[in-house]
Amino acid sequence: MQNMLIDFIPVLLFFAAFKIYGIYVATTVGIVATAVQVLLTRFIRKKFDKQQVVTLVIFVLFGGLTLYFHDPIFVKWKPSIIFWIFGIAFLLSHFIGKKPLAQRMLEGMLEAQTAAVPATLWVRLNAAWAIFFIFLGTVNIYIAYHFSTDVWVNFKVYGIMLCLLAFSFAQAMCLSRYLTDTK
């Protein structure tokens, strides 16, 4: 949860800059904030967070295109590209490695309690994450092309956050019946 909040800081800075200065300043602020986030994570944890690095590379590429061509459509594509990469990563994890990506990510948080979670549930949760990310990327593109930039930015901040929280809560509910109190 703490990581999710830290990952949301560049989004909030992007949102604030957009509301005050517009999409082009917001794009610059977002790129700089994401770069700072990656460097701080590297400094504090002594390693790079792969998800943050992917986000930074995509943001620099698509944000840079937005700034160069003075066209906000490129930065609007950024969340979709990232979500689709994550969705594909979840799908491919069924075939690469011994455990699905959802299991690898959540085992650290759940510690010893993951032994009670059936392998079939991990596979279903992993597939659900893949479908969720692909769907969310598609919804983002739809909103980017059919609504104003202001509506898109509000969706990017509020809509995506609420979708991620709701989906995470649903996944936690699925896992909760298999977890026991170790205290």
**DSSP per-residue codes, 21-76:** H-HHHHHHHHHHHHHHHHHHHHHHHSS--HHHHHHHHHHHHHHHHHHHHT-THHHH
CA nearest to 132, candidates 157, 160, 152, 109: 160
Residue pLDDT, tens place only, 47-60: 999 999 999 999 99
**Average of pLDDT values for 69-93?**
96
So what's the pLDDT on residue 83? 97
Domain that includes residue 124, residue range: 77-183
Same domain for 167 and 108: yes
Domain count, the chain: 2
Q: What is the pLDDT of residue 1?
A: 47
Contacts of 172 (CB under 8 A, 6+ apart): none
- Looking at the fold, whether 41 and 86 belong to one and the same domain comes out as no
Q: Which of residues 71, 89, 121 is at a domain's end?
A: 71
pLDDT computed for residue 113 by the predictor: 62
Residues 92 and 159 in one domain: yes
pLDDT, greater one: 127 or 180: 127
Domain end residue (candidates: 71, 90, 114) = 71
Of 12, 36, 71, the last residue of a domain is 71
Using alpha carbons only, how large is the chain's radius of gyration in Å? 18
State pLDDT tens for residues 141-183: 999 999 999 999 999 999 999 999 999 999 988 888 877 655 5
Residue 114 has pLDDT above 70, yes or no: no
